[in-house]
Structure 1
Amino acid sequence: MDILFIFVIGSIFGSFFGLIVDRIPLRKSIIFGRSHCDSCQQLLAYRDLIPIFSQISSGSHCRYCKSKIPYLYVFLEFSSALIFVLAWVNYLKPSQFLLIILSLILSAFDYRQHSFPFVIWFIFALSFILIFPLSPLFYFWLILAVLAEKFNLRVGSGDFLWFFTASFSLTFLN
């Protein structure tokens, strides 16, 4: 029963991540404003907002205008639910959990926008810096990110910023 509860909580977070991916590029509030269909602008009823279940039961179409709902939402909801369950059963360390959640969110932004907002990465990076110890490897990735921003290194600065964050939980020494 605990695992089912954690799965539901994780899917709710995944739904919120989808909202973040939709609204931040449009500079809309992630707190205020009801969810609506992007095609017909119809406000969604509570039954349309049940993570995973609503999209499956509607056949990935809006109940009102029948426009297609991107699979990205159900992917975020299910993936988040699975990640939360894996963390709950101690399969993931806290740093791995945060890194995978960050990677999921940034991947959704990258899929939609071909970039990600710096503020999303910064919030996670700041929490990593405050929670976990620093090492010289972190500075290496930050320097490469700055260089990639200034010069064409054929790798985006966002990739190096992700490596910076990943270096808190990934190690090649163990």
Structure 2
Amino acid sequence: MSKYETKPTIKISMKGEIKMFLYVWFFILGTIVGSFFQLCMDRLPLGLDVIKGRSFCFRCFHPLQWKDLIPVMSFVLLKGRCRYCQRRISLRYPLFEILSGLLLVFMVYYITPMGKAFLLYLLIMDFITLTVIDKKWQIIPDFTLLLEAVLTIGLIFYIDVPFYERIIGMFIISLPMFLMNQWVIESFGGGDIKLMFISGFLLGYVHILLAFCIAVIVGGLYAWYLLIRRKAHRHSHIAFGGFLCLGILVSLFYGELILSFCFL
């Protein structure tokens, strides 16, 4: 009798072990993805190819071997220094890889189906890359926009928005931004306009309007903070891509909740 009583416990234990194995695997996969997006942050602003060509140290320009490129582990084994020039490697590399792995585990745990979770994860990573590059260089590389467009094609099967709303969404923000650029030169960057064009198709016109409102409010508060602290003046340019990405993600994940609260 006791033999039969232990079977459910064994099944539950095995199920838990399988889940734990999957989460560990997703964490490792996330660190690899994070490593790739860090490569994008380093290479894209310099016009370097992110697909072809060997990785190299940006200090001594020595090509890196496979054992120098293992996410997190290589940093630990090398004690945070380049194998060839012995200069310190920035701590942001392993930290970003760890956070990328944790983010993928979080997305897979809370969002179903798994395909949707992974596509949203890649979209977030793409937006983080876009934001970092835009803040430092004030450019939005076409590669990040192309990747968003590819992810959008996949996500439309998981995000239920009428097709006509997607078409309107492509132009309802991007077209006024483009026209304003003709009136006030460089009021918006070309990358910002493309970003809203693609995201409008992803979200539809209602949610892209909400995304833009969020971006304007948060970006305006940030600009006000810079003016108060005298870190900028009235004619300074601030990178707006990151605020647009924030608005898009908030609208994507919490848009329905925000809209229902606003129109009670």
With structure 2 as the length reference, what TM-score do the two structures score? 0.54
Residue equivalent to 2:134: 110
Structure holding more helix per residue: 2
**1:38 Cα deviation (Å)?**
1.4
User: When the two structures are superposed, what TM-score results if normalisation uses the length of structure 1?
Assistant: 0.77
CA distance in 1, matches of 2:244, 2:176: 8
Partner SS state of residue 110, structure 2:
coil
Q: Identify which range, 117-126 or 7-16, moves more after superposition.
A: 117-126
Correspondence for 1:124 among 138, 145, 148 = 148
Instruction: Tell me: CA distance 1:138–1:78, structure 2 relative to 1, closer, same or farther (3 Å).
Output: farther
| 1:18 aligns with one of 38, 41, 46 | 38
Larger Rg: 2
CA contact (8 A) 1:141 1:164 kept: no
Relative contact order higher in (CA < 8 Å, ≥ 6 apart): 1
* Partner SS, residue 75 of structure 2: helix
How big is the shift at 1:97? 2.9
Residue aligning to 1:158: 241
Counterpart check, 1:168 vs 2:252: yes
Shift of 1:45: 2.2
Matched pairs, number: 174
How far residue 143 of structure 1 moved from its aligned partner, in angstroms, is: 4.1
Select the residue among 142, 146, 152 that pairs with 2:178: 146
Q: Which residue of 2 aligns with 1:63?
A: 83
Give me the whole-angstrom Cα distance separating, in 1, the residues matched to 2:174 and 2:247: 6
Q: Distance in 2 between matches of 1:53 and 1:149?
A: 47
Q: 1:107 to 1:59 in 2, by over 3 A?
A: farther
Which deviates more, 7-16 or 130-139?
A: 130-139
Residue pair 1:61, 1:69 contacting (<8 A) in 2 also: yes
The residue that corresponds to 2:227 in the other structure is none
CA RMSD of aligned residues (A): 3.1
Contact 1:145-1:157 within 8 A present in 2 as well: no
Query: What percent of counterpart residues are identical?
Result: 29
